[in-house]
Structure 1
Amino acid sequence: MNSLSLLRLGLAVIATAFLVQCSSTPQTRIEKNPQLFSKLNAQDRSLVSKGLIREGMTRDAVFLAWGRPDAVSVGVSRGRSGESWTYEGQRPVRSMNMSMGFGFGGFGFGGWGPYGYGGLGGYPMWGSGTSVTYIPYTAGVADFVGGRVVSWKSTAR
């Protein structure tokens, strides 16, 4: 195995480990935090296992169900301090690309040099294909007052 293949293999292993570490599901969060899960009542344990939340849940239950929020904001509503957890997602948007270019260089005729190489031998280039761009969106918001969910909204899961 040459050094380039070994480098590629090493990078693939690191990328795989990173992706596995980043993939967080309710089940992996429950496994990593059994003490939090055991404190929940039976109804909340059932919901959390499915990645669902309800009004009245604690922050710990929402963390287990939905994970760490992407943003936390604080404020006051009706004289009571509150907190909002925002979760972001990314939607793929596919688009069709058409491109055209003109290349310079290569083995053009009538160029400079002893053999006529290296002139402006342009070749038209056509290209098309699809590309994917990921657009961020708000996937869910949980609002807390006194450490408990008072309202929430989420995209269909």
Structure 2
Amino acid sequence: MKKNIVYLLPALCALLLASCVSPIAKRIEHNPQIYNDLPESQKRLVATGQISEGMSKQAVFLAWGNPNRKSGGSRQGTKTERWSYAGYDAVHSTSLGYGYGYGGGYHGYGHPYYHDIGIYYQPTVTYLPFERKWAEFTNSRVSAWAITP
């Protein structure tokens, strides 16, 4: 049993360290040919999660990953495609109210021996999606893009 632990511990440590790799590095590692075919200026941008006009869809995929939504359209007779990436805003709210109830057993003349009047305050956080960033492609190349701060 102790021998198995000696072999299992390094494997577990390696697995934990491998999970610390950034999503960008994982995409590059899984798609080395796409990354190697990029010009040096685009490699630097992709490695830091940035894009620029003229980049291919594959380069945007390496930098930003798969989009949450793809949509197609047309601009001046040319087909376009838009990739949208979601972000989430935390919206804080509170609930304030009261409740009334009966509790316990009965004593005496059939009346409950206590009433429960409760006032509550409940903070809540809801996460609302919004379009965090997008890239538009014309002829499979980035023609416009934006990131919401």
Report the TM range for the smaller structure's normalisation. Answer: 0.7 to 0.9
Residue from 133, 138, 149 that aligns with 1:140: 133
Alignment of 1:82-93 (within 5 A): 82-93=80-91
Distance 1:104 1:35 in 2: 70
Work out whether residues 92 and 135 of structure 1, in 8 Å CA contact, stay in contact via their aligned partners in 2.
yes
Shift of 1:109: 4.1
Q: TM-score, normalised by structure 1?
A: 0.73
Shift of 1:99: 2.5
Work out whether residues 111 and 120 of structure 1, in 8 Å CA contact, stay in contact via their aligned partners in 2.
no
Alignment of 1:12-23 (within 5 A): none
Give the AA of the match of 2:77.
G
Moved more, 28-37 or 131-140: 28-37
Moved more, 72-81 or 101-110: 101-110
Distance 2:119 2:30 in 1: 52
Give the AA of the match of 1:67.
G
Q: When the two structures are aligned, how many residues end up with a matched partner?
A: 130
Identity %: 36
Per residue, is there more strand in 1 or in 2? 2
Q: Deviations over 1:24-49 (max 9, x none)?
A: 73222222222221221111111111
Shift of 1:138: 0.7
Give the AA of the match of 1:78.
Q
Distance 1:125 1:108 in 2: 20
- The alignment partner of 1:75 has SS state of strand
Q: Using a 3 Å threshold, how does the CA distance of structure 1 residues 121 and 54 change in structure 2: closer, same or farther? A: same
Q: TM-score, normalised by structure 2?
A: 0.76
Work out whether residues 75 and 83 of structure 1, in 8 Å CA contact, stay in contact via their aligned partners in 2.
yes
RMSD value, Cα: 2.3
Structure 2: 5+ residue runs without aligned partners? 1-18
Q: Using a 3 Å threshold, how does the CA distance of structure 1 residues 111 and 46 change in structure 2: closer, same or farther? A: farther
> Partner residue of 1:4?
none
